[in-house]
Amino acid sequence: MGEAAAVKSEETQKTQIDPETAERVIAEKRIGERIKRLRLKKSMGLVELGRHTGLSASFLSQLETGRVVPTLRNLSRIAMVFSKDLAYFFETEPNALFRVCRRKERVRLPQTGVNDPTYYFESLGYMVPDRHMDPYFAEFIPLGKETEPRAHMHAGFEFLYMLDGDLEIHHGDQSCTLEAGDAIYFDASTPHSYQCAGKKPAGAIIVTMHQAPAAHPMPLRGVTAPPAAKQPIPVR
């Protein structure tokens, strides 16, 4: 090979994309991991996703583990099932959410809507914007004989874990008394109320979960707009 040809070959190599570099760029996008997250978020198996996309479960499995790279056509099929744009798989991912709530930073607030509160609460998730659940620490105080707990209701679900003391919960026409270590999960759209059942205050962790519409896989023939995000629901 002549000197001129050698120089030209070297210059061509410098201007061509290195295959290893291209593979690294694809790997950094973690397309397979993003697909797997979408699938698991919908509680969908590989076989079910395959039925919606026309792709085999074995191919999808290899795609999720990074052993194969999808074509734009296949990626488009997957994106449509989850109501995502193709750009979703190539956008830079935000940093993983990690927030710490220090005890000294919390604000103690009384039950809202009443002059004589029966409990006080502290938000444990106020530092997280657009959160999908609201965690609280709540302290229920003993009531006077003439004080009746005020029932309330809101969309979504509620989880309560007792830390100490005794707490009576009324939910519709049902009621129960919880002790330290007990937990309860209920539909918050039914009127419910809390009442300290002991002579000492009762403490509990409460998590209110926002209700989202049932998710249905998107058919390949059409795309609809995603449901509007739910707003945070405060404890009342």
Please state the separation of Cα 131 from the chain's center in Å. Answer: 8
> pTM score, two decimals?
0.54
What's the CA gap between 55 and 52, in Å, rounded?
8
Burial of 198 (0-12, 13-18, 19+ CB in 10 A): middle
Q: Which domains does the chain have, with CATH numbers?
A: 15-89 (1.10.260.40), 104-209 (2.60.120.10)
How crowded is residue 146: how many other Cβ atoms within 10 Å of its Cβ? 5
Mean pLDDT of 12-18: 58
pLDDT in tens, 209-222: 976 545 545 454 44
How crowded is residue 148: how many other Cβ atoms within 10 Å of its Cβ? 10
pLDDT in tens, 41-100: 888 999 999 999 999 999 999 999 888 888 889 999 999 998 888 888 888 766 678 888
